[in-house]
Amino acid sequence: MKEFISDFNKLVKLRLTLTVVFSASIAFLIGAKQQGEVMWFNWLMLTIGGFLVTGAANGFNEIIERDLDKLMVRTMDRPLPSGRMNTGQALVLSLFMGIIGTLVLVQLNFIAGLLSVFSIFLYAFVYTPLKQKSPIAVLVGAFPGALPPLIGYYAAFESAGFGLAYSEVSESAVVIVPLVLFAVQFFWQFPHFWAIAWVADEDYKRAGFRLLPTKKKDKTSAVLIFISALIMIPAGFLPWYYGFGGYYFTAVSLLGGLLFTYYGYQHMLKMEDATAKKVMFTSFLYLPLTQLVLLFDYLPL
């Protein structure tokens, strides 16, 4: 049983899944704050549904990449490439999680459920095959990667079909806020994934993954990592510009963006794994911290 739990955690990429669920659950609480009431049972259902949907997407990803995972040091101990789990078992688990998770999210909000299906499809069946073909995979993967706050925010609202409950909620609160949350997480993924791709480049090459902008560790890739880090400064001002991010949030976002930019600039100059790691670790800290601060410094529209 202990071995199955360990393999299940690796199949669903537990740390990544929990990060995604955290992002969605914080967005749910922001949506609840907009309405003035937190429905904790719905928050629990979102957390469960989000975990299952994300776990399913990661499971499908590992099924598709099972032979490639054997080639990389960081992935060869996953249950499929190691032989501890067969494809059929992984497929049943992933399908079960995807169906149950989507049904849970649809019950909360139809749009949230629809977006969850779209995110599974885009991540597992578009982004995953593209990783071997073109660096555009990072752009494509940024879309499903930025959907969790959108899913979480909409899950906080009652809905009938495609319509949201607009009673006592301004139209901008159900359009502008979730799109800005999506945009910030979308832009964040470029310095995040490119920094990881730089650090793991040798391992990725064994599987033929091409995730750096130019497919290699060169000056152009380093410059684009710096530019993507620099973009986090204006991206962090978007909630303030649209009137729902307070001064505390804006200050924390600005500091985070400046840190991103500083380490991105250092990496552009030195082009070392050590400097790329600093960009990567900044990305690990930036997103959960700014989302938490926004939750407590959110100004309802």
pLDDT tens digits for 109-136?
A: 888 888 988 998 999 899 989 998 889 9
**CA distance readout (Å), 230 to 7, 59, 111, 249:** 38, 33, 32, 18
Contact between residue 156 and residue 42 where contact means Cβ atoms under 8 Å apart: yes
User: How far is residue 178 from each of residues 143, 280, 295, measured CA to CA in Å?
Assistant: 14, 25, 13
300 C-beta neighbours (distance < 10 Å), count: 14
From CA 191, how far away is CA 286, in angstroms rounded? 11
> Which tops the pLDDT comparison, 285 or 172?
285
Say how far residue 108 (Cα) sits from the centre of its chain. 21
- Report the candidate in 35, 57, 58 with the shortest Cα–Cα distance to residue 109: 35
Query: Is pLDDT of 211 > 60?
Result: yes
The residue type at 29: L
Task: Work out the percent of the chain whose per-residue pLDDT is above 90.
Answer: 67
Q: What is the pLDDT of residues 24-70, one digit of tens each?
A: 999 999 998 888 778 889 899 999 999 999 999 999 999 999 998 89
Query: How far apart (Å, rounded) are the C-alpha atoms in residues 285 and 256?
Result: 9
| 8 A C-beta contact, residue 267 and residue 194 | no
Alpha helices in the chain (DSSP H): 2-11, 14-35, 40-64, 66-69, 79-82, 87-108, 110-122, 128-130, 136-155, 176-199, 201-207, 219-230, 232-241, 247-270, 273-296
pLDDT at 168 over 60: no
What is the distance between the alpha carbons of residues 262 and 226, in angstroms, rounded to a whole number?
9
Per-residue pLDDT at 159: 62
pLDDT band at 182 (very low <50, low <70, confident <90, very high): very high
Running DSSP on this structure, what letter comes out for residue 172? G
Q: What is the average pLDDT value for the chain, to the nearest integer? A: 91
pTM comes to: 0.92
Which tokens belong to 287? Answer: 């997103």
pLDDT in tens, 259-299: 999 999 999 999 999 999 999 999 999 999 999 999 999 99
